[in-house]
Every structure is written in structure tokens, then in C-alpha cells.
A and B are shown apart, each in its own frame.
Chain A
């Protein structure tokens, strides 16, 4: 029995449902849990093999980027054993993306530690999950959800003619959904207070607002405790959620500059708000 059994009853299950055969897998990766659900499975062995390949890709990328592994490329760069420009192109790609987002977020997002060493974990999780999910799609898997630690991407439909219904976790009530979104494809990624201090540089605004000692529960000024981004790319939805959350009250407005991305914020009173001109009911349905 593995840690993955928490995310589903066993680490790997296959069940027949009204929508056909469903194969689910959960695995520990990148310090969290990856969860893959394939619906309307046509070829179970091929599906299992595709999931194996996707998880192997996550493991490969973790081995490349993890700052917890002394043998990773990032660790070698940080020790001065490898020059940045001699790094594998995937490392260049990630650092390039990090740099772009650092500029685009005015420094709210950062892949470097205070001492200047690399710590791209804040970008890598969503990016790696997107690459791994692409392996499933590349092998002809059409209907699936691929989640790594609560940031997920879906393809196809969960049952014939049925869109995926994804709950946004209620940050104030464990196990409950604040609202839900229906999507046929694309990503849903959420950042929240629990991520603070890892790779998020809080804006002064946000830092003040989320300091428990100065917390005021007021619907007009209440701090955002969870920010979810919807959009076509999991890598960017995840990164935008991280950056926008770090911006505090300015985060929702910031999201509007990216075509195809929308956001849902939840404040400390549990109130929901959305980016741009989207009505909440257009984005996330409360139940």
C-alpha cells in the first residue's frame, strides 16, 4: 500500500461506469500526489502503459529540477558545477519562462532564492504536469484528467456528451467545494495561503492583508486566501495563479491581460469574485 491510496482507494483502479471503463491512478511525485483518471477507456493495457509513461516523465523532470536532489541539473548549476547555458534545453525553457513571468508579474513570481540560486519549483510542477499530460494525449488517450497536487488539466469529456465538472476546493472548509467549473478541455490551477514562503514573493499589499495579526474579516477589504486560474495551458494557469495570488488584491485584474485565462478569487470571508467582466455564474457555479 502506498501513499497514493489516500487519493484513491487503491493506487490504481479500474471500474465500469455509465460512461464506460474508468482507469484511475495515483502516485507520489514532486512532493505531492499526482492523480490520473482516464474515462471511456478503449484499450486498458495501452491506457495503463500511457499512464506509466506519463508518470515516468514526471519522475524524469523531478530528477532534473528538484533542489532536494543533489544530482539534479538545478542542484549542479547552483553548486557551480554546470554552466547555465550548458544545461538541457528543458532547463533553459523553464528558466526562460520563469524570467518572462518575473518581468510580466513585476517580480511577484520568482524562480530564484534570495541568495540568487535557482529554485524553479514554483513553475516546474504545472509545467511538468502539462508535459506529462501531453504524453497521454500523444498516445491517443482522449478523455482524461491529469492532476498534480490540485492543479489539473482535462481533455475530452468524462462521459459521452458530459463536460468535466471540477470543484474548486473551499479554502475555509476542508473537503468542501466553494464552487465548480464545467470544462471540456484546459487547465484549472489554484494557489492559496498554504503556498506562501515557498516560491511566492508576497506584495506588500498582500503581506499586510494576510498577516493574521492584522487580519480583518471585512468583505470590502478582506484578503484573498485562494486564487484559481482557468485557461488552456496548465503550465501558465499554475504560474499565473501563483503570481496573481502573490499580488493580493491586484491579482484578479492582472489575469485579464492574458488572453484565454480567467480567475476566481476567494477571500477570507468565503466570498467569490472573478477576473474581468465575467459573471461568477459564467465561470464557477456555487452549489
Chain B
């Protein structure tokens, strides 16, 4: 497990710390190295022994979410402009001028998605875009951004040898990848 970073002010103010009772000890015991191999803590047995000190214990696991959560489906559109194609990725493998190939339409939780790609002469993909987008414009914006992180790395690798990696925002979209995978499988 990653070391929990320090947040001393918050920890002091944190009411849950004051509990410092059986539930916190239980969690810390479950979290202790001695329990590494115990996939399922045995029901009925006490896991309290051997746990780390309660002072550093995390809060009880079960909490209720704060009131007023935002419905993900009701989120306003992202700030970026209208859907645009990711810029063609440069590189030494040839021009990105071939006719685009479309994948099948896939249903996602955001609505239908279809991917269009352009290949270079050597078969590598230089451009990918979500072309079939849901009726809701905000959703299409969101889906279109999936192409960004996937292309980022090849863009960086092809365009600037000074970088060994790239960090950027991403979302997950099974539909985008299914449509894309279908193109790749067919190609």
C-alpha cells in the first residue's frame, strides 16, 4: 500500500480520528502486514491483535456520502470547444492522408460511439476520432477526448525525442475501444 501522505491539520480536525475504537483498530488490523495473506478475514475471529497503533489508523470504512451528490449524467459539458479531431500525429512513418476507416457503432453508457481512424502507409494509426456521438452534445465532447490520451504518447514519441512519457487527463470508454478494436481486428 502506498504510504498515506501527511495531512496533520486535517487529521487533527477529523472527528473520525476521535473514535479510535474498535472499528478503526479493525481496519488497521486488516491493513497490517501480518494480514497480507489473509484474503478474507475469518468471520468471528478477532483481527485486532497485531494491528498497528490506533493513532495512525485510518477512519472506519463505512461512511455515508455527503448530501447533494451530483448525478454524473447531469454534468455540464466540458470547457473545450466543439468536437474536433485530434491533430494528426507527425512522425517519420509517412503522411497521414489516407482515407479514414470507420469502426462499428458501439453502445456505451454515454450513448453510441463510433471510431474513425486514419492509417499511414506502414499501417500505424496516425489519427483517431470518435465520429458517431450521442445526441447530447456534452457527451460527445466527453467521448471525443478519449482519443487524446491514447494518441498523446505516440504524438510525443514521434514528435519530440526529448520526452520519454506524457501525462494527461483521460477517461475510460469501453465503447470507444470496442469500436477501435474492431477496426484493428479487421485491418
Instruction: List B contacts of A277 (CB < 8 A).
Output: none
Contacts A3-B180, A86-B40, A114-B65; A32 near B167 (Cβ below 8 A): no
A window 186-220: CB within 8 A of B: 188-198, 201-202, 207, 210-213, 215
Is A235 touching B2 in the complex (CB atoms < 8 A)?
yes
Least Cβ–Cβ distance between A34 and chain B, in angstroms: 11
Our pick among A28, A68, A110, A193 for the contact of B177 (Cβ within 8 Å) is A28
Contacts A32-B149, A231-B5, A233-B2; A171 near B169 (Cβ below 8 A): yes
Instruction: List B contacts of A87 (CB < 8 A).
Output: 40
Is A7 touching B168 in the complex (CB atoms < 8 A)?
no
Bound form: Cα–Cα A116–B69 in Å: 10
Is B172 touching A32 in the complex (CB atoms < 8 A)?
yes
Is B164 touching A145 in the complex (CB atoms < 8 A)?
yes
Is A103 touching B10 in the complex (CB atoms < 8 A)?
yes
Interface size for B (C-beta < 8 A) is 85
Interface size for A (C-beta < 8 A) is 101
| B62 and chain A: residue at smallest CB distance | A84
A2 CB-CB contact with B under 8 Å: yes
Contacts A9-B124, A103-B14, A259-B6; A165 near B167 (Cβ below 8 A): no
Is B5 touching A167 in the complex (CB atoms < 8 A)?
no
Contacts A180-B162, A194-B145, A235-B2; A174 near B170 (Cβ below 8 A): no
Contacts A5-B124, A197-B72, A261-B5; A210 near B166 (Cβ below 8 A): no
B30 CB-CB contact with A under 8 Å: yes
| A28 and chain B: residue at smallest CB distance | B177
B132-153 to A contact mask, C-beta < 8 Å, 1/0: 0000000000100111111111
Instruction: List A contacts of B125 (CB < 8 A).
Output: 5-6
Contacts A92-B27, A92-B30, A191-B169; A174 near B75 (Cβ below 8 A): no
Is B87 touching A166 in the complex (CB atoms < 8 A)?
no
Least Cβ–Cβ distance between A260 and chain B, in angstroms: 7
Bound form: Cα–Cα A92–B162 in Å: 41
Is B36 touching A89 in the complex (CB atoms < 8 A)?
yes
Is A110 touching B146 in the complex (CB atoms < 8 A)?
no
Is A188 touching B167 in the complex (CB atoms < 8 A)?
yes
Least Cβ–Cβ distance between B148 and chain A, in angstroms: 5
Is A233 touching B14 in the complex (CB atoms < 8 A)?
no
Bound form: Cα–Cα A145–B156 in Å: 15
Our pick among B41, B71, B80 for the contact of A172 (Cβ within 8 Å) is B80
Is B31 touching A93 in the complex (CB atoms < 8 A)?
yes
Is B170 touching A150 in the complex (CB atoms < 8 A)?
yes
**Interchain residue pairs with CB less than 8 A apart (22):** A6-B125, A6-B150, A7-B150, A33-B150, A35-B153, A68-B174, A99-B60, A102-B65, A113-B72, A127-B2, A145-B164, A150-B149, A171-B80, A171-B168, A175-B151, A188-B165, A194-B142, A195-B170, A197-B142, A213-B76, A235-B2, A260-B5
